[in-house]
Amino acid sequence: MAQVQRMSRLMVKTLRDDPADAETLSHKLLVRAGYVRRNAAGIWTWLPLGKKVLDNISRVVREEMDAIGAQEVLLPALLPKEAYEASGRWEEYGDLLFRLKDRKGADYLLGPTHEEIFTQTVKDQCTSYKDLPVMLYQIQTKYRDEARPRSGVLRGREFQMKDSYSFDTTDEGLAESYRLHRGAYIKIFQRLGLDHRIVSAVSGAMGGSASEEFLAPAAAGEDTFADCPNCDYAANTEAVTYKVAPPAASEHGPAEELDTPDTPTIETLAALLGIPASATLKNLLVKVDGEIVAVGVPGDREVDLGKLGEHLAPAVVELVTAEDFEGRPDLVRGYVGPQGLEKVRYIADPRIAAGTAWVTGANKPDTHARNVVAGRDFEVDDYLDVVVVEAGDPCPSCGSGLQLDRAIEIGHIFQLGRKYADTFQLDVLGQQGKPVRVTMGSYGIGVSRAVAALAEQSADGKGLCWPKEIAPADVHVVAAGKALQTELALDVAERLGAAGVRVLVDDRPGISPGVKFTDSELIGVPQILVAGRRSSDGVLELKDRRTGEREELTVDEAIARLVG
């Protein structure tokens, strides 16, 4: 027997107007339909309808994780400082960590993610190769002190997440655990009704040899991914690589300086010389763990600082300030060139290939140089893909032009390797009687974020439109208002509930039929069953929320249709 929820007793308050601070569709509709309530920036209360959706997503996740043999645990959210100090993340997380002290002055944090604690748990519980492999997961509240929490539950400071970890004694075992999780994630998102893309990603400071993100395309997405319309290539823009074509053989004259007053930008330089920006070399100065580094890219492209940071992780990357130029006569603001730089590491995008010639700064005020050739006039210390990917860039697989789309990250899996096992000396006794270092995989799903992603993808102009698997009810029964209609609606709701159908019935007195109909579309249950003008004849109207198709059925026909 399924629950019958009467709206006359349900704590739900729908709104006609969008919240003033709401920007995304999911933020607007989840608040208006009475699913969530804002307590503070990035902190939300899940109201009864919202909690049902959240629990349904968690149920699907649990079922598929259990199906691959993963075991559920629940680790604390309040964590001691020492484990995160050992891994270095007490400092690396910076302001993202919620830090606190207990009454004795000991330092704690609210867990942003639990790699350290999972590793310690397995170290305590597993001592032999016979104890492995093991896969553990939890659905837990996470905490991150986001600088700009926004978009409702899409980016909060407190959120629900499923994180799981695999522990194996061999790299082959890790690959199998990764394969199992990947398959489970595909099933999870298919069951949730989420349109998603699996894209190549970078692991960054987490380390690891393989990394993929599960992205839900949506206009409100904060991630940009590139995909190829001509093949199956798809990647987070930070993971897109560029294949260098050998430069055409050509002779370049000697480098020569040019008088270029008042041209500190690529735009002003190109305009003065009458050349395209792509013929110039842009040199961005950054600090990597406090040391000044120059990054060269073609003048018509921008440096992707996120991509640069991923390449150089765990080092901290930040832009230079005016103070950094003091005492450095070799660094002339607006006129920096790679030739003649003193004690500065030079990183370049692969497009700055050996043999290519550029117009770039001459390291003198109001002066540039042309015919500055890579490999002849300056050397590149490291080649890294660091430009912002643009639509039309060549696909690394087939060469066709890439297209860019916005998406919400709903899952991330990667082969973590031995980073945390090394930190905490996670060894087990191997088959040969010697210690074996364990290798790990890390796998996350944003459970509360999936609610918003589904709202973004499935909503229409009238409101939410949930897939059946995660909707708060299977059918929304609406009593149009009169006593006979309410009596019939409650009777049908009870019969449906007895047959195992989850029912939300609008029996609210004193509410007009128009408001009830509007609310049924706003709340978004897949089927709407109306006890209306033909109730005296025992006839109901069944409406499909997604397609809008309507059909008149007798009570028995309607129950048979919904139960079947």
* Residue 204, pLDDT above cutoff 70: no
* Euclidean distance between CA atoms 477 and 496, whole angstroms: 10
* Residue 160, pLDDT above cutoff 70: yes
Task: At 468, list the tokens.
Answer: 């059946």
Give me the phi and psi of 113, to 5 degrees please: -170, 160
Task: Find where tokens 């909707």 sit.
Answer: 471
* Euclidean distance between CA atoms 225 and 243, whole angstroms: 18
Confirm whether pTM is higher than 0.85: yes
210 or 528: whose pLDDT is higher? 528
* Residue 228, pLDDT above cutoff 80: yes
* Residue 205, pLDDT above cutoff 80: no
Q: Is residue 399 exposed (0-12), middle (13-18) or buried (19+ Cβ within 10 Å)?
A: exposed
Query: What is the three-state SS of 238-306?
Result: HHCCCCCCCCCCCCCCCCEEEECCCCCCHHHHHHHHCCCHHHEEEEEEEEECCEEEEEEEECCCCECHH
pLDDT at 191: 97
* Residue 434, pLDDT above cutoff 80: yes
pLDDT at 343: 86
* Euclidean distance between CA atoms 553 and 488, whole angstroms: 14
Question: Vertex 470, ends 61 and 531: CA angle to 5°?
Answer: 160
pLDDT tens digit sequence for 11-54: 999 999 999 989 899 999 999 999 999 999 999 999 999 999 99
Query: Once rounded to an integer, what is the mean pLDDT over residues 108-121?
Result: 97
Task: Find where tokens 């696909």 sit.
Answer: 395
**Does residue 167 sit in helix, strand or coil?**
strand
* Residue 202, pLDDT above cutoff 80: no
* Residue 543, pLDDT above cutoff 70: yes
Least confident window among 237-241, 361-365, 394-398: 237-241
pLDDT at 416: 94
Task: At 135, list the tokens.
Answer: 């896969």
* Residue 406, pLDDT above cutoff 80: yes
Task: At 15, list the tokens.
Answer: 């709104």
Q: Which DSSP state fits 209?
A: S
Query: Once rounded to an integer, what is the mean pLDDT over residues 53-69?
Result: 98
Helix residue ranges, H only, 77-170: 81-87, 89-92, 115-125
* Residue 207, pLDDT above cutoff 60: no
The mean of the pLDDT values for the chain is 94
Task: At 429, list the tokens.
Answer: 């006794």
Q: Which DSSP state fits 219?
A: T
pLDDT at 313: 82
* Euclidean distance between CA atoms 233 and 121, whole angstroms: 38
pLDDT at 429: 97
pLDDT over 90, % of the chain: 85
**Cross-strand bridge partners of residue 147:** none
pLDDT tens digit sequence for 290-336: 999 999 999 999 999 988 988 888 888 999 998 888 888 889 999 99
**Cross-strand bridge partners of residue 108:** 80, 100
Interhelix angle 48-67/447-458, rounded to 10 degrees, is: 110
* Residue 206, pLDDT above cutoff 60: no
Q: How confident is the model at residue 210 (pLDDT cuts 50, 70, 90)?
A: confident
Q: How confident is the model at residue 288 (pLDDT cuts 50, 70, 90)?
A: very high
pLDDT tens digit sequence for 506-530: 999 999 999 999 999 999 999 999 9
pLDDT at 564: 84
pLDDT at 403: 95
Q: How confident is the model at residue 116 (pLDDT cuts 50, 70, 90)?
A: very high
pLDDT tens digit sequence for 469-517: 999 999 999 999 788 999 999 999 999 999 999 999 999 999 999 999 9
Least confident window among 185-189, 195-199, 232-236: 232-236
pLDDT at 188: 98
pLDDT over 70, % of the chain: 98
Query: Once rounded to an integer, what is the mean pLDDT over residues 412-424?
Result: 96
pLDDT at 330: 84
